[in-house]
Chains A and B, each alone.
Chain A
Amino acid sequence: MAFKHLIALEHVSKEDMVSVLELAKTFKELILRPVKKVPTLKGKTVVNFFFEPSTRTKTSFEIAAKRLSADVLNLAVSTSAVVKGETLLDTINTIEAMQIDMVVIRHGTSGVPEYLAKRIKSSVINAGDGMHEHPTQGLLDMFTMIEKKGKLDGKIVCIAGDVAHSRVARSNIWGLKKMGAKIRVVGPPTLIPKDIDKLGVEVFYDLKAALKDVDIINILRIQLERQKKNLFPTTREYAAFYGINTEKLKYATPDVLVMHPGPMNRGLEISPNVADGPHSVINEQVTNGVAVRMAVLYLMGGGKKDEIIN
């Protein structure tokens, strides 16, 4: 199996996801060694194109590519030509003319990675597009869940918070559904998008009911500008109804896993003692993110699963 592009987990088969997750296990062992680098992508060039501010995802992709010995170029929107009135396609074509191999793109408009994949020769990896998908986040979330819970089949996962604006939620839903998990979403109706139940998830507005028997909670970041759009009245009220604290955690199973894609608003969607508590695997998600992105880059760079390192 080899990917040409990674745009959306909607279009990735269960088999391909399993391949990535298995390969990521090998890479995780590698990055925990003192010497973390392998020569597999030597001579390949990966361009990180970030049209939205990002620290962790950009860094994670950069480290993953470097550990595979690829050359990495980081382009932020402020340094790119887009601000000079050039079209996105012209900008990417210019960079591509310099003979690159992979484009990692983050963009505020849904559909941009697909738009580019249809028009350029390089491989395109979606590092988050608008409110659409964030496939590597979906994969690293599943990797972490499997690592901690053994398997996903039959597990109940609750995605909590701003589902409407969340690409993380959508990638989680597509991925988890294919892996056999039961998915719930919970949040105020203003942040639950219309007809999301048709994606095969159960919708809750009441946190207590939503958390009953839940094995894993994935807490989404709430952006403060949503309050200005009247999607909830005050951050205080949001925290009171949907913020996860130790009290509310008791509604779930005793060994519930707490996840968050970051960056966190401590005290809003997650209380500090939950974020730092025994259920939290938030920092491990970050470590796993590197391993999963290495697996994705490796497979997209043409590597075969069996000819791995060692």
Chain B
Amino acid sequence: MKLLIKNGLVVDPANKIEDKLDVLVNNGKIEKVGKNISDKGAKVIDAKGCLVIPGMIDMHVHFREPGFEYKETIASGARAAAKGGFTTVCCMPNTNPPIDNQALVDFILFKSKEAGLIDVLPIGTITKGRAGEELSAIGELVTAGAVAISDDGSPVMNAEILRRALEYCKIFNIPVIEHCEDKNLSGEGQMNEGFYATKLGLKGIPKAAEETMVARDIIIAGEMNARIHIAHVSTAGSCELIRQGKKNGVMVTAETAPHYFALDDSALEGYDTNFKMSPPLRSKEDIKAIKKAIKEGVIDVIATDHAPHAELDKNIEFNPAAFGIIGLETAFSIMVEELIASKAVPLSTAIAAVTINPAKILRLNKGTLTEGVDADITIANMDKTVKITEEFFASKSTNSPFIGRTMTGTIEYTIKNGRIVYENK
């Protein structure tokens, strides 16, 4: 089957393309990208006024299966991803049981195939049971199909264990993805430490809880000449440490999440638990620094940290409420509003952060519209608005801080291997 996408603004950062072009898809692959393509047998999508980009990649989601299927399943998460314009996502292993063996990697891949919408790629744990004590069988995880390892949700507090994980992963050339949080410093903290935490009487999480771990990890990775990927960067200080690390030649890459450049800790007034996440929302100055870091390529990737939680976990008192928010279906709108429309970040840089950059870090042959690659394509509108309601979400959970807002930027089509898996009707 052939698909011809006409008249769109094609942005393919890997190939340095940003132009009004047509894209022809044949047999699930990109056949041609060029001007005025015509093909009689192809189904035509008119992408006039739309952006045509490589299928977006989210390297940090929580699909909760196995163990917490009441929050999300791989199938429901895949639907949310497709709706959000993502054709590939990587799911974190903090499930129950955690993904620390090859049988569970197989399970994720099986469930992904069964859902049949997008690629859900597993990330294995760094340590057995995510307990931070003994290395997982990393080789077996990778052989089964894990694309990275992480104990996300928790840091590897023991620096020696992190060191060994970093060294050992050189065999496989996969990134170790670290959740940077010194648990002693974050303690029982509920939100960013500062004026609003003081005012609201909520225990604070200092920026140092993140930054000391970012610094530690970069130093160890530098000395071991190994790869480290810093998850969900939330502070200006972390950006600065990563900038320095890169300058010094350390193999450090980093991601941030859309909420860290859209919201600050003043949003916690009112105690809405949909603004509670880890790391917490920080200050306006941090937002500015994060946007700058994306623009300069210090932060390579935008990943949603899609963290579904049910009513039971969220509609309760603030302290026991779960950390985390969903993000797959609002990510593109936030990027449009905060980065692209406001010109804080050039269009191709923003798109690279959800396409070619995560693909490179994970060594996936994805994230481009190069002729011959899998036809994973996202078609989006940067002017159309959408009202965010609970009914809007395909995710099983609706723990979004953006409910009630009208947002600019919509996903019109998500195409996976040449097949339309989402269409905005």
- Per the bound structure, the CA–CA distance linking A88 and B321 in Å amounts to 12
Q: Which residues of A contact B249 (CB under 8 A)?
A: none
Per-residue 0/1 for A186-207: is the Cβ within 8 Å of any B Cβ (1 yes, 0 no)?
A: 0000000111101100000000
Let me know if A110 and B201 touch, CB within 8 A. yes
- Contact partner, A110, options B200, B315, B316, B320, Cβ 8 Å: B200
Q: Which residues of B contact A170 (CB under 8 A)?
A: 199, 201
- Contact partner, B201, options A88, A89, A115, A133, Cβ 8 Å: A133
Q: Which residues of A contact B193 (CB under 8 A)?
A: 194
Let me know if A195 and B194 touch, CB within 8 A. yes
- Per the bound structure, the CA–CA distance linking A194 and B319 in Å amounts to 19
Query: Among A16-24, A124-132, A259-267, A280-288, which stretch is in contact with chain B?
Result: A124-132
Let me know if B198 and A193 touch, CB within 8 A. yes
A134: min CB distance to chain B, Å: 10
B85: min CB distance to chain A, Å: 34
Per-residue 0/1 for B184-208: is the Cβ within 8 Å of any A Cβ (1 yes, 0 no)?
A: 0000000001110111111110000
Let me know if A130 and B201 touch, CB within 8 A. yes
A105: min CB distance to chain B, Å: 11
User: Which of B195, B271, B316 has most chain A Cβ within 10 Å?
Assistant: B271
- Summarize A's interface: helix, strand, loop or mixed: mixed
Q: Does A111 contact B (CB under 8 A)?
A: yes
Whether A111 contacts B194 in the complex (CB less than 8 A), given A194-B204, A199-B199, comes out as no
- Contact partner, A129, options B195, B201, B203, B270, Cβ 8 Å: B201
Q: Does A109 contact B (CB under 8 A)?
A: yes
Whether A115 contacts B318 in the complex (CB less than 8 A), given A110-B271, A129-B201, A170-B201, comes out as yes
Let me know if B317 and A131 touch, CB within 8 A. no
Q: How extensive is the interface on chain B, given as a class?
A: 20 to 34
Nearest CB to that of A132 among chain B residues? B201
Let me know if A115 and B317 touch, CB within 8 A. yes
User: Which of A88, A110, A131, A133 has most chain B Cβ within 10 Å?
Assistant: A110
Q: Which residues of B contact A130 (CB under 8 A)?
A: 201-202, 319
- Per the bound structure, the CA–CA distance linking A114 and B139 in Å amounts to 51
Nearest CB to that of B316 among chain A residues? A87
- Per the bound structure, the CA–CA distance linking A167 and B202 in Å amounts to 11
Q: Does A107 contact B (CB under 8 A)?
A: yes
Considering only CB atoms and an 8 Å cut-off, how many residues of chain A contact the other chain? Answer: 25
- Per the bound structure, the CA–CA distance linking A89 and B320 in Å amounts to 14
Q: Does A112 contact B (CB under 8 A)?
A: yes
Per-residue 0/1 for B56-99: is the Cβ within 8 Å of any A Cβ (1 yes, 0 no)?
A: 00000000000000000000000000000000000000000000
Let me know if A107 and B271 touch, CB within 8 A. no
Let me know if B198 and A199 touch, CB within 8 A. yes
- Contact partner, B197, options A89, A107, A129, A194, Cβ 8 Å: A194
- Per the bound structure, the CA–CA distance linking A79 and B179 in Å amounts to 41
Q: Which residues of B contact A111 (CB under 8 A)?
A: 200-202, 271, 317-318
Nearest CB to that of A166 among chain B residues? B201
Let me know if B317 and A88 touch, CB within 8 A. yes
Let me know if A167 and B204 touch, CB within 8 A. no
Considering only residues 102-122 of chain A, those with a C-beta below 8 Å from chain B are 107-112, 114-115
Let me know if B198 and A196 touch, CB within 8 A. yes
User: Which of A87, A130, A167 has most chain B Cβ within 10 Å?
Assistant: A130
Considering only residues 319-355 of chain B, those with a C-beta below 8 Å from chain A are 319-320
Let me know if A132 and B200 touch, CB within 8 A. yes
Q: Which residues of B contact A167 (CB under 8 A)?
A: 201
- Per the bound structure, the CA–CA distance linking A125 and B193 in Å amounts to 27
Let me know if A131 and B201 touch, CB within 8 A. yes
Let me know if A89 and B318 touch, CB within 8 A. no
Let me know if B194 and A114 touch, CB within 8 A. no
Q: Which residues of A contact B195 (CB under 8 A)?
A: 194-195, 198-199
- Per the bound structure, the CA–CA distance linking A195 and B283 in Å amounts to 13
Let me know if B202 and A115 touch, CB within 8 A. no
Whether A115 contacts B199 in the complex (CB less than 8 A), given A109-B317, A194-B204, comes out as no
Q: Which residues of B contact A194 (CB under 8 A)?
A: 193-195, 197-198, 204
Nearest CB to that of B195 among chain A residues? A195
- Per the bound structure, the CA–CA distance linking A166 and B65 in Å amounts to 41
- Per the bound structure, the CA–CA distance linking A92 and B285 in Å amounts to 40
Let me know if B197 and A193 touch, CB within 8 A. yes
Q: Which residues of A contact B317 (CB under 8 A)?
A: 88, 107, 109, 111-112, 115
Nearest CB to that of A229 among chain B residues? B187
- Per the bound structure, the CA–CA distance linking A161 and B63 in Å amounts to 46
B190: min CB distance to chain A, Å: 8
Nearest CB to that of B270 among chain A residues? A114
- Per the bound structure, the CA–CA distance linking A139 and B197 in Å amounts to 23
Not counting A10-B199, A109-B320, a sample of 5 additional A-B residue pairs whose C-beta atoms are within 8 angstroms of each other reads: A88-B316, A89-B316, A131-B201, A167-B201, A195-B198
In the assembled complex, 23 residue pairs joining A and B whose CB atoms fall closer than 8 Å, in A order, are A10-B199, A88-B316, A107-B317, A109-B319, A110-B200, A110-B201, A110-B202, A111-B201, A111-B271, A112-B318, A115-B271, A131-B201, A132-B200, A167-B201, A170-B199, A170-B201, A193-B197, A194-B193, A194-B194, A194-B195, A194-B197, A199-B195, A199-B198
Instruction: Name A residues whose Cβ lies closer than 8 Å to a Cβ of B.
Output: 10, 87-89, 107-112, 114-115, 129-133, 167, 170, 193-196, 198-199
5 tightest CB-CB pairs across the interface, nearest first?
A: A132-B201, A111-B271, A131-B201, A195-B195, A110-B201
